[in-house]
Amino acid sequence: TSGVDPSQDHVIDLGFVIFNEQELIKECSYRIKTDVTLDPVIIALTGLTMPQIQKEGKSWEEIAEDLQILQDA
């Protein structure tokens, strides 16, 4: 998340894998765009910066199809 306060901070990094028995079906990893400034503690912990989040990040709409797969799994 962008900080340690769940009422104000946003998810900035998301990853998941889907398995069927012992077979890997899908693996996803995303940076999530946010306008919330990263807490200095989070920058130190993750090494992520606001420019990275803005450049590499995707919107929730952009990853919606992959998130639907999670719901259907």
Tens digit of each residue's pLDDT (9 = 90 or more) over 17-56: 888 888 998 888 999 999 899 999 999 999 999 999 999 9
- Reported as a pLDDT band with limits 50, 70 and 90, residue 73 is low
Measured torsion, CA atoms of residues 62, 43, 38, 59, in degrees rounded to the nearest 10 = 0
- The closest of 39, 31, 35 to 4, measured between CA atoms, is 39
Partners of 17 in beta bridges: 27
pLDDT of res. 44: 95
Tokens of 25: 């079906």
User: What pLDDT was estimated at residue 66?
Assistant: 83
In 1-73, the DSSP E strands lie at 13-20, 23-31
pLDDT at position 48? 92
